[in-house]
Amino acid sequence: MSEQSKVFVRTASGLVRTISPWGALGMAVVMPGILNTLFLGEWGAGLFPNAYEPASNAAIVLLLPVMAVFYLFSVAMPRSGGDYMYVSRTLTPVLGMVTSWTFSVVYWTWCGLNNVLAFQYGPAVDLVARGEMSGNQAMINQGLFIMNDPWTLWIGSVLLALLAGFIVWRGTKLTMITFYTILVISLIGLIAMVYAWLSMPSPAFFQANLLKMTGVSYQSIISKAQANGWTSGFAVMPTLYAGVTYVMLNTLGNQGVVTVAGEVKEVKKSAFFALFGSLALMVVFWLPQYLMLYEVGGREFTSASAYLFQNGLNPLPIEPVWTYLTAIASNNPTLTTIVTYSFVASDWAVGFGGLYFSTRAIFAWGFDRVFPSFANKVNSRGVPVGAVTIATIGCVIWTTLQVWFPQYLRLIGYTTCVWALAWIILGVAAIVFPWKRKEIFLKSPDIVRRKIAGLPVITIMGILTVIISLYIAWATFVPAITGTNVLYSFYPFLTTVLILMLIPVGIFYGYYYYRTRVGKVRMDIQFKEIPPD
């Protein structure tokens, strides 16, 4: 069959359904990073100083309609590519490329950021804290060197990115074993972290140990923050903003399960299990971390220390990331090492999972001919090696940018913003799906075709998704608009968002033109069909 007469590049994807419902759940829980609260909580406390973050976990409820849209679409179109497939087949292919590209590049951004943070908040914090406990200045200096030397961070972080790429390249079996292993390590770290705080004799112990290890008193941190504009007490709106920005950020990634739907067994069961089950487990895993810092460590101290750091006024030897504060609370070298290195595994999992999920999106682009043909190359083990190579290169590039341009890419809030903007597009697709693609809707399983008061459930969930996503996008812009944080400048934030969302438009139309004019391929036909399994 000639290239011109083919609807798709192959009659089968070449991918194999090997992921079980339990495996899908494991990926959805592990990929966002079970212990990432240990730095995202601190960032949220600094960015929204009057937020009571244990309550901000309630913001996770806002994700339910969004997860419902992903779930219903995954049942209607259980193919690799996930959101790319849903939007390109329902609205327009270029918008499908925009949403999918956005998610994929954010995955790579996280890979770069989290690989660097794995060193800074893991081994570096471990060495500094244990050095302070024992009075070993050489150990402290070694930790500070790892934390601040760009070449050390770059080499180590790139190796972590390459490790993730190698595991994914080896196949789904090793990938799933890795997810399960990280789950166990993360839970060990969570237990050690909670034990460190609960076994602390009294708040006075933490305060005394803080002064002994850092030379900075507990009350001086609160007083300095107050002198520089921080006010004590908690309010509803900052709490909600913190939840929308950083609790949401800590959940993003579980939706990646639908990107690998073409390899998941019993999609109807597995996707539900993964998307909704992971949200429940996230609350179970993250709430204790917030409570330890706010209720045991002290609400005012936790908020004030984070505020000072985020505004360039940190009096402590290093950033008051919660792995470090946990070390101060325990004064125990063994617990410190367990917590910090468990954090490394949990943090690395974000980049690892993001790389894995993005490969299936890239594969779908290649399958639709809107990306280099190399992207849909599959080996004898059913691994899309072309997409894995591209995703690994993307992660290495973003890791390099994170090391050498840290202040710009530290605007991690933009990832939540562009993610929410992509959700808006997805929500619109869900709203019109029953009418725009009526033939697919009517052939879908019963759960997809259900209605409430005559209106399809997927349409209702789409409406809610658009409303919620608009609010999330706005909430992430609040610090940049108000100028409440020195790291969040409006124009770098805005231009980052716009550039990330315009690049895929150029890629799509460039390849569309090339395929239709040079390759003489009927590109319009394939977007009317769901790709083969």
Strand positions, DSSP E, 8-158: none
Mean pLDDT of 19-33: 87
> Residue 4 — pLDDT band, cuts 50, 70, 90?
very low
Indicate the domain borders of the chain: 21-526
Helix/strand/coil percent split, the chain, to 5: 75, 0, 20
Alpha carbon distance 137, 85 (integer Å): 55
Q: Tally Cβ neighbours within 10 Å of residue 2.
A: 7
CA atoms within 13 A on the CB side of 454: 0
Residue closest to 347 by CA, chosen among 104, 4, 31: 31
Alpha carbon distance 281, 25 (integer Å): 10
pLDDT score, position 528: 74
Mean pLDDT lowest among 99-113, 356-370, 399-413, 503-517 = 399-413
**Candidate ranges 228-237, 402-411, 430-439; pick with highest mean pLDDT:** 430-439
Contact 511, 353 (CB under 8 A): no
- The DSSP secondary structure of 48-68, one letter per residue, reads STT--HHHHGGGGGGHHHHHH
| Helices 322-330 + 37-47 axis angle, to 10 | 110
Is residue 403 within 8 A of residue 162, CB to CB? The reply is no
Average pLDDT over every residue of 480-491: 53
Q: Are 329 and 206 in contact (CB under 8 A)?
A: yes
How far from chain centre, in Å, is Cα 100? 14
Residues 272 and 261: beta-carbon distance below 8 Å: no
SS3 of 19, please?
Answer: strand
**What is the third-level CATH fold of 21-526?**
Amino acid/polyamine transporter I (1.20.1740)
pLDDT level of residue 1 (50, 70, 90 thresholds): very low
Model pLDDT, residue 260: 83
Cα 179 to Cα 26, 33, 107, 384, distances in angstroms: 7, 11, 16, 19
Beta bridge partners of 452: 455
Residues in the chain: 533
Q: Residue 467: which of 430, 495, 413 has the closest Cα? A: 430
Three-class SS of residue 361?
A: helix
Among 46-60, 282-296, 428-442, whose mean pLDDT is lowest? 46-60
Question: For residues 345 and 500, what is the distance between their CA atoms, to the nearest angstrom?
Answer: 28
The dihedrals phi and psi of 52, each to the nearest 5 degrees, come to: -100, 95
- Do residues 94 and 380 lie in contact, with contact meaning Cβ atoms separated by under 8 Å? no
* Section 233-239 average pLDDT: 88
pLDDT at 123 over 80: yes
- Tokens describing residue 89: 């087949």
What CA–CA distance (Å, rounded) separates 274 from 282? Answer: 12
- Per-residue tokens: 486: 């020195």
Maximal CA-CA distance, the chain: 77
Distance CA 121, CA 347 (A): 9
Task: Say yes or no to pLDDT of 236 above 50.
Answer: yes
- pLDDT above 70 coverage of the chain, percent: 90
Cβ-contact 83, 422 below 8 angstroms: yes
Q: Which amino acid is at 423?
A: W
Region class of 331: left (phi > 0), else alpha (psi between -120 and 50), else beta: left
The HSE-up count of residue 430 (CA atoms within 13 Å, CB side) is 32
| DSSP single-letter state for residue 455 | E
For residue 266, how far is the Cα from the chain centroid? 25
pLDDT tens digits, one per residue of 410-446? 555 567 778 888 899 999 999 999 999 999 999 999 9
β-strand partners of 455: 452
Cross-strand partners of 451: 456
**b/e code 205-239 from CB counts within 10 Å (16+ = b):** ebbbbbeebbebebeebbebbeeeebeeebeeebb
Angle 441-63-242 from CA coordinates, rounded to 5°: 155
Q: Give residue 5's pLDDT.
A: 45
Residue 10 confidence (pLDDT): 45
* Number of neighbours of residue 353 by Cβ within 10 angstroms: 29
Region of poorest pLDDT, from 5-19, 63-77, 175-189, 350-364? 5-19
| DSSP element (H, E) containing 452 | strand 451-452
DSSP category for residue 318: S
Residue 244 per-residue DSSP state: I
- CA–CA dist 93, 89 (Å, integer): 7
Would you state the pLDDT for residue 533? 57
Residue 491: the pLDDT is 57
* The token pair that represents 340 in the structure block: 């910090």
Give the residue ranges of DSSP H helices in 243-332.
Answer: 248-251, 267-291, 299-310, 322-330
| pLDDT given at position 410 | 53
Res 133: pLDDT: 96
Q: What is the mean pLDDT of the chain?
A: 87
Quickly state the pLDDT bin for 12 (edges 50, 70, 90): very low
Residue matched to tokens 């471990």: 126
Residue 482 has pLDDT above 60, yes or no: no
